[in-house]
Amino acid sequence: MVTACSEPGFFVSATGGHDTQARNAMKPSRSHRPLERSALTLGFVPLTDCAPLIAAQSAGFFAEEGLTVTLSREASWAAIRDKVAFGLLDGAQMLAGMPIAATLGVGAPPQAMVTALSLGLNGNAITVSEALYGRLVAADPEAMSERPCTARALKRVIDADREAGLAPMTFAMVHPASAHNYQLRYWLAAAGIDPDRDVRLIVVPPPRMVANLEAGRIAGYCVGEPWNQMAVRAGLGRVLITGYEIWRNAPEKVLGVTRDWAERHPNTHRALVRALVRAARWLDEPANRRGIVTRLAAPDRLDAPAEAIRGPLVGEFRHAREATSVSLPDFNVFHRYAANFPWCSQAMWFITQMLRWGQIVGALDIAATAAAVYRPGIYREAVADIGVACPDTDTKSEGRHAEGWALATNDGAIAMGPDRFFDGRVFDPADCLGYIAETQPTARTARLAELAQVNPSNRSSVAG
């Protein structure tokens, strides 16, 4: 556990000095209502993208919103979910799909949760062992030289192993409701690999991925940083593809609280959202990202070498130990591209994946479920007076933009990043059932006819 602290001098401008004018522009309004509770405990998992929580504490954003925050490092995402559900944590950094899964009772007894804040976009990668990488190159050198790297070579290796009577290879992801799980499955399925039959998928907490790879218990994994770079630096693994290459600017982490907590602490909730948005905006400055690396590396935070954290955080990514770093400026996006807005349509995409892979039993209203968990209205209220542009709509399509684009709002345009899927597929939140029907394998539990009865289409409110 780490006690909260306020360090106003830690705020640095893009040129490296203290920037009072910029700081004042981000200060909270004095018109906010009294907090129902000011002392909070928030959980996080040791990953680079917990940076908004660390920055909000270190740079004093929590304190300026009247909050005294204790940050609690947790061992796994399951621990995060359970401690929030039982009230041992007020809230936590969560996987973007976790509040939905918790509300629906996917993998655990149901506990209604909400999120009013996305903590950022991207940040994952798929890494395989050096031994498997050698087999992939031998099986299909042409496929392994392409970018983005597909799983075509892996399909050949899997087919060869099956013919030889070998057991399926084991791959790891961090939680069944994680973007990591769905990105890994998406990547495998696009090459004709059935993730539930052709390989074995297991859950491993992020900090234990490298040790499991080294021990040979897994052939590869999908995880956030610094745990891909740790394997690369040690010469144990190679990154085949980043999450950004699978789905550009995909939702990754959110701030999660129980629905009951949000209803009992509305002012505190808004203050918490506001502090974290200010921290995320602060992290858009390159100098601030460089400055927070040593804090992230600390034993009570990530407990990892600063160099493994720094590269991806500042947009320099290494795929193999002997390779030079490549520029990936959007590997971690914390604020730009409306990254903090909790899009209901992205919640709907996660629900389609839960249906696709048989995690949800029976039919449900996809849009209503998404709107009950993802709460953009709370976000808009929280940031109304701190100069943050908000989308006017709660939904947008995904996959239509290979380059940056502009989202029109009543207050002007918001610069948005690319949102393309690597296979060119487009997700239209007004046609979730069509999207599910086009994917293979299709929904394994809820039949499409049953879903159609409770999912009317409405295209009028979808942006992008």
Residue 460 lies in a domain: no
Longest dimension (CA), the chain: 70
| pLDDT for the residue numbered 461 | 47
Is there a contact between 123 and 93 (Cβ–Cβ < 8 Å)?
Answer: no
Rounded distance between C-alpha atoms, residue 291 and residue 321, angstroms: 25
Give the helix ranges, DSSP H, for 234-301: 243-246, 259-264, 266-282, 286-297
Query: Which residue bears the tokens 């590396």?
Result: 297
Query: Which residue bears the tokens 């048989």?
Result: 358
| pLDDT for the residue numbered 448 | 82
Residue 58 lies in a domain: yes
Chosen domain end from 246, 281, 314: 246
Overall average pLDDT of the 36-56 stretch: 99
99 phi and psi angles, rounded to 5 deg: -60, -35
Domain encompassing residue 227: 124-246
Q: Which secondary structure element, helix H or strand E, spans residue 264, and what is its range?
A: helix 259-264
Residue 199 lies in a domain: yes
Chosen domain end from 327, 347, 367: 327
Beta bridge partners of 2: 71
Overall average pLDDT of the 317-337 stretch: 97
Residue 373 lies in a domain: no
| pLDDT for the residue numbered 65 | 98
Digit-coded pLDDT (tens) for 103-115: 999 999 999 999 9
| pLDDT for the residue numbered 31 | 52
Residue 166 lies in a domain: yes
Query: Domain count of the chain?
Result: 2
Residues 242 and 254 in one domain: no
Chosen domain end from 283, 308, 327: 327
pTM comes to 0.92
What value does the CA radius of gyration of the chain take, rounded to a whole number of Å?
21
| pLDDT for the residue numbered 253 | 99
Angle, helix 306-313 to helix 286-297, in steps of 10 degrees:
150
Band (pLDDT 50/70/90 cuts) for residue 12 is very low
| pLDDT for the residue numbered 361 | 83
Digit-coded pLDDT (tens) for 412-458: 999 999 999 999 999 999 999 999 988 866 556 567 888 988 987 64
| pLDDT for the residue numbered 456 | 77
Is 87 buried (19+), middle (13-18) or exposed (0-12) by CB count in 10 A? exposed
Beta strands 462-463 and 395-396, pairing class = parallel
Residue 403 lies in a domain: no
Percent above pLDDT 70 for the chain: 90
**CA nearest to 106, candidates 168, 181, 43:** 181
More confident of the two residues 17 and 424: 424
Residues 37 and 114 in one domain: yes
Is 71 buried (19+), middle (13-18) or exposed (0-12) by CB count in 10 A? buried
At position 90, the amino acid (one-letter code) is: D
Is there a contact between 404 and 416 (Cβ–Cβ < 8 Å)?
Answer: yes
Rounded distance between C-alpha atoms, residue 341 and residue 118, angstroms: 6
Residues 69 and 117 in one domain: yes
Residue 138 lies in a domain: yes
Digit-coded pLDDT (tens) for 52-99: 999 999 999 999 999 999 999 999 999 999 999 999 999 999 999 999
Residue 412 lies in a domain: no
**Domain CATH for 196:** 3.40.190.10
Digit-coded pLDDT (tens) for 24-34: 445 555 456 89
